């Protein structure tokens, strides 16, 4: 199987996520002929059954016992046999297939600890609005998408962000009605925590949306007369989502292939998908059965509903291929900062009277956590605002005390805005702070307006958490952010945007070292998914998941980190991506 990507279609796909870095992908190859010795090429499932030695490289293993090496040996089943010096390994395996990577750098395969793979696939079936700089640009993209739709079909999209527009205010349904008076239009905001509808879409809702009533954990924006403006926040979105026609299974299955191909091209060999249902799990299982799940997927159930009930009854998913796992549940504490849905302890600095949306009070949150821990599973709770983080940490502490036989490693997803008293509780309770470095560099133009100068001190606080003894796991939250861990590595070590601003980094005390950033996307992410004995570092006995880069991440100037070229991506000892 091969996926060609040199033409306009692939370039457009990359542009959908507003990626400013293109890795040079000309050809994605899966399952092709084996290399000739010392020659570049693609090794797939047709690779020889014997030993393969990659040599001549600078290898950053992330093994504390041997952090640097020159050669890596693994067998035809994808298990690492040895890591060491060139002469040492070539003497030990004289008949091995040798792959000379002189002048290249090898690092463990990167893992996104919070990336919505199924959500990314779904977004590929919709109009791509990320990176739009105005309402007019959104209309232009929507019209291009509409040209491909039959009459009456909903026009769906995702990715708009009013903070990027000349006037950073929520739009109105009238903006869409002018151009789409009859076709229903439903557009998710980039963070997935708000949506924008036109009048034709609102007319199909199951109830009258006017008045002064609200949904628990959500908000309908209304005009002074009580009519909906077309903006729905968090749980209010369900009022319209319930009548949006489902996307076909075939379209999503095709989009999963596209999404995984892109992940491989930027060096992701694994992802933790926070919140899927049985339908999505079934799609991944079908991909796996067909030999097409070219990633290591750690999935979580979406809340405590039917999927968790099924998992509790049947036990965790752990496929023998070590490619697909499900033994965790994603819960939700609040909304997002960009749409002012994050639950804060005090009013938003730029919106007096508004403290965001807390989805569950402590007792209700603890009841849900108890349900997950009672089944023996890991829980991961979305918490962005400082109030949500406190409620979640309090509930976790109480539930953990009554479920002491649970394996733990419970996670707070985002842990974005903390209060000083709560920051140290992560280490105290053994909680994983699952954080996304590019959220900071995306949010920094407006985050302090939302929070003010005091609260911003404890926002996106990676270094403070590490110094407190807490464990971090890094990700991107794609498709909210770009599917590119190089951008996350760069953001973590610089806290600057791609233009190098602000000089020295935004709140630079929270920058982390290059090794800490790399650990966050490798061994620490692996540990957050109970996979540290399988992947995350290059050591004998682990799987041969690794990348070949064109330059040395540890020594290049920081501004070059986003421009590192992923020359090869290897998964289970198979080269699943290569630049020709």
* CA-wise closest residue to 562 among 480, 476, 489, 473: 489
- Model confidence over 175-193: pLDDT tens digits? 999 999 999 999 999 888 8
- Model confidence over 547-566: pLDDT tens digits? 999 999 999 999 999 999 99
> What is the pLDDT at residue 109?
98
> What is the pLDDT at residue 190?
84
CA 334/CA 517 separation, integer angstroms = 27
CA 566/CA 550 separation, integer angstroms = 7
| Nearest-5° Cα angle at 226, 225 to 228 | 120
Q: And the tokens for 419?
A: 């209060």
3-state secondary structure of 506: coil
- Model confidence over 4-56: pLDDT tens digits? 333 333 333 433 443 334 333 333 333 333 343 333 333 433 344 599 999 99
CATH number given to 126-241: 3.10.310.70
> What is the pLDDT at residue 164?
86
Q: Which DSSP symbol is given to 456?
A: G
> What is the pLDDT at residue 236?
94
Domain residue spans of the chain: 2-109+564-578, 126-241, 249-534
Average pLDDT over residues 95-120: 97
CA 29/CA 24 separation, integer angstroms = 14
Q: Which DSSP symbol is given to 327?
A: E
Average pLDDT over residues 517-530: 98
Q: Which DSSP symbol is given to 480?
A: S
- Model confidence over 291-343: pLDDT tens digits? 999 999 999 999 999 999 999 999 999 999 999 999 999 999 999 999 899 99
> What is the pLDDT at residue 347?
98
The string of DSSP letters for 105-122 reads EEEEPEEESS--HHHHHH
CA 165/CA 294 separation, integer angstroms = 37
CA 353/CA 350 separation, integer angstroms = 10
Average pLDDT over residues 410-422: 97
> What is the pLDDT at residue 159?
87
3-state secondary structure of 179: coil
> What is the pLDDT at residue 245?
92
Question: Which CATH topology does 2-109+564-578 take?
Answer: Urease, subunit C; domain 1 (2.30.40)
The answer to whether residue 127 scores a pLDDT higher than 80 is: yes
Our CA dihedral for 121, 127, 130, 135, rounded to 10 degrees, sits at -160
Who's near 139: CB < 8 A, 6+ residues apart? 175, 176, 179
> What is the pLDDT at residue 343?
97
Give 79 or 36, the one with higher predicted confidence.
79
- Model confidence over 346-382: pLDDT tens digits? 999 999 999 999 999 999 999 999 999 999 999 999 9
The answer to whether residue 239 scores a pLDDT higher than 90 is: yes
On the question of a common fold for 2-109+564-578 and 249-534, the answer reads: no
> What is the pLDDT at residue 41?
35
> What is the pLDDT at residue 465?
98
Q: And the tokens for 567?
A: 């020359």
The string of DSSP letters for 203-223 reads TTSSS---SS---TTEEEEE-
> What is the pLDDT at residue 19?
39
- Model confidence over 453-498: pLDDT tens digits? 999 999 999 999 999 999 999 999 999 999 999 999 999 999 999 9
Average pLDDT over residues 277-294: 97
H or E stretch including 570?
A: strand 566-571
Q: What percent of the chain has pLDDT over 90?
A: 86
CA 16/CA 159 separation, integer angstroms = 9
- Model confidence over 435-451: pLDDT tens digits? 999 999 999 999 999 99
> What is the pLDDT at residue 131?
86
> What is the pLDDT at residue 49?
58
- Residues 344, 355 contacting (CB under 8 angstroms): yes
Across the chain, mean pLDDT equals 91
Q: What percent of the chain has pLDDT over 70?
A: 92
CA 71/CA 99 separation, integer angstroms = 10
Q: And the tokens for 407?
A: 């394996």
* CA-wise closest residue to 523 among 166, 215, 111, 133: 111
With 0-12 CB in 10 A as exposed, 13-18 as middle and 19+ as buried, what is 257? middle
3-state secondary structure of 78: coil
Strand ranges for 204-282 from DSSP E: 218-222, 228-234, 268-276
Sheet holding 185-189, edge to edge: 127-128, 155-160, 185-189, 194-197, 228-234, 218-222
Q: Which DSSP symbol is given to 436?
A: -
pLDDT category, 580, cuts 50, 70, 90?
confident
* CA-wise closest residue to 71 among 58, 63, 62: 58
- Residues forming beta bridges with residue 156, ordered by sequence position: 186
Question: Which CATH topology does 249-534 take?
Answer: TIM Barrel (3.20.20)
Looking up tokens 């036989």 gives: 405
């Amino acid at each position: 199987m091969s996926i060609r990507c040199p033409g306009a279609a692939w370039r457009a796909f990359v542009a959908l996520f507003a990626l400013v870095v293109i890795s040079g992908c000309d050809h994605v190859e899966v399952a092709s002929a084996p290399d000739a010795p010392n020659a570049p090429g693609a090794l797939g499932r047709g690779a020889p059954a014997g030993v393969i030695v990659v040599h001549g490289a600078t290898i950053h293993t992330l093994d504390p016992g041997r952090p640097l090496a020159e050669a890596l040996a693994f067998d035809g089943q994808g298990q690492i046999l040895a890591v060491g010096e060139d002469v040492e390994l070539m003497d030990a395996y004289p008949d091995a297939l040798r792959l000379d990577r002189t002048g290249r750098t090898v690092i463990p395969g990167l893992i996104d600890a919070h990336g919505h793979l199924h959500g990314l696939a779904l977004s590929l079936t919709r109009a791509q609005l990320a990176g739009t700089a105005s309402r007019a640009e959104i209309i232009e993209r929507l019209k291009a998408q509409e040209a491909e739709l039959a009459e009456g079909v909903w026009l769906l999209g995702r990715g708009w962000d009013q903070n990027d527009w000349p006037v950073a205010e929520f739009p109105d349904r009238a903006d869409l009605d002018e151009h789409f008076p009859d076709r229903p239009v439903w557009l998710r905001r980039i963070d997935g925590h708000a949506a924008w509808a036109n009048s034709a879409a609102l007319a199909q809702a199951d109830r009258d949306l006017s008045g002064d009533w609200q949904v628990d954990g959500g908000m309908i924006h209304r005009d002074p007369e009580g009519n909906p403006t077309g903006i729905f926040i968090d749980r209010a979105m369900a009022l319209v989502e319930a009548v949006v026609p489902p996307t076909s299974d075939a379209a999503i299955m095709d989009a999963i292939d596209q999404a995984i191909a892109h992940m491989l091209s930027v060096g992701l060999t694994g992802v933790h998908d926070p919140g899927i249902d049985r339908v999505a799990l079934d799609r991944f299982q079908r991909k796996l059965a067909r030999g097409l799940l070219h990633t290591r997927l750690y999935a979580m159930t979406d809340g405590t509903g039917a999927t968790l009930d099924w998992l509790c009854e049947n036990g965790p998913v752990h496929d023998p291929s070590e490619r697909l796992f499900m033994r965790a549940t994603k819960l939700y504490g609040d909304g997002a900062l960009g749409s002012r849905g994050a639950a804060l302890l005090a009013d938003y600095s730029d919106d007096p009277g508004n403290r965001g949306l807390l989805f569950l009070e402590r007792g209700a949150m603890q009841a849900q956590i108890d349900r997950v821990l009672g089944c023996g599973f890991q829980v991961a709770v979305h918490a962005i605002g400082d109030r949500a983080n406190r409620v979640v940490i309090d509930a976790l502490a109480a539930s953990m005390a009554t479920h002491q036989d649970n394996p733990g490693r419970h996670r707070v997803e985002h842990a974005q805005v903390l209060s000083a008293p709560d920051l140290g509780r992560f280490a105290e309770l053994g909680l994983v702070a699952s954080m996304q470095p590019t959220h900071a560099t995306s949010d920094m133009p407006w985050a302090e307006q939302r929070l003010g100068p005091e609260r911003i001190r404890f926002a996106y606080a990676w270094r403070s958490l590490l110094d407190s003894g807490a464990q971090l796991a890094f990700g991107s939250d794609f498709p909210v952010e770009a599917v590119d861990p190089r951008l996350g590595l760069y953001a973590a070590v610089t806290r600057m945007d791609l233009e190098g601003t602000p000089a020295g980094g935004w709140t630079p005390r929270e920058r982390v070292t290059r090794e800490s950033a790399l650990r966050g996307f490798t061994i620490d992410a692996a540990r957050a998914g109970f996979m540290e004995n399988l992947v995350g570092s290059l050591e004998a006995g682990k799987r041969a998941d690794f990348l070949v880069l064109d330059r040395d991440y540890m020594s290049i100037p920081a501004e070059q980190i986003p421009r590192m070229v992923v020359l090869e991506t290897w998964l289970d000892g198979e080269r699943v991506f290569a630049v020709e």
